Amino acid sequence: MKRHFSIYLIVLFCLFSCARERSRVGIDRSIPSKTIILSEIVKGEIPKSYVVDGQRYYPLPDSYGFVQLGKASWYGKKFHGRRTASGEMFNMYKKSAAHKTLPLDTYVKVMNLSNKDHTIVRINDRGPFIKGRIIDLSYAAAKEIGLVGPGVVEVKVVALGKEVGQLKSESGLKPLVEFKELKKGKFSIQVGAFQDKDNALKLATRLKVIFDYVTIVKYLDEDRRALYKVWVSRSETLTQAGKIEKKLEDMGFTKAFIVRI
């Protein structure tokens, strides 16, 4: 009897140490920023700027920036009035977006590759939590690029940097642009999401044999059903996280994707 009780305690300890359930996703607000002098010519062209709420933004050069190609989707009524990852209330009639890895408050240009229409949005939420989809637009932003009808389209996402001043030079004024470390931070890999918490615990226990960090995150989907997401590993760069993602895909977790913690 004592032996069975000891085994029971060991199993319980393993479950809770292998998979610490988190009721909400943490937000890293300590992402470092840098300021660069934007060259007059970027890829042979004069960089175009965009004004949002009185603030000017520029596409970042490749060496500093973030460019991503993939599928975009949109979300609306089921999330309208609910809190986003930033703590703001989601308003489907205002332009905003959800992204899995870009820092919150990052502005991006999203271009619909089928019609070349674009919109400028601020990332204030996390998602879309589907492999292959890179950004979720609010209804207002989706309508601007012709996304509402088809529901999913191929897009190009380009990170923008905020103008914080200008520098005098022999050729005139050059903008000083501030940007966040878009490819650095705290990242993990989502390998599964379950309605049954026990299934999440079973998977987490299996993965703990291979990975030092395994955790379970509780999340409410669009129908307010609880989902238990299994996250694996912690990385400080997107490059490191990408290697772990590839390892998991090779292990058979083909739907695994990177998330910013």
Closest CA to 97 of 114, 113, 76, 115: 76
d(CA 249, CA 261) in angstroms, rounded, equals: 20
From 120, 147, 180, the end of a domain falls on 180
From 180, 215, 241, the end of a domain falls on 180
46 and 99 in one domain?
yes
**Number of domains the chain contains:** 2
Q: Which domain holds residue 236?
A: 2-26+183-260
Query: What CATH number has the domain bearing residue 95?
Result: 2.40.40.10
d(CA 79, CA 92) in angstroms, rounded, equals: 8
d(CA 46, CA 28) in angstroms, rounded, equals: 34
From 134, 157, 180, the end of a domain falls on 180
d(CA 240, CA 187) in angstroms, rounded, equals: 9
Segment 79-99 mean pLDDT: 95
Task: For 177-198, write each residue's pLDDT tens digit.
Answer: 888 888 889 999 999 999 999 9
Task: For 38-66, write each residue's pLDDT tens digit.
Answer: 765 555 555 789 999 899 999 887 767 78
Q: Looking at the whole model, is its pTM more than 0.85?
A: no
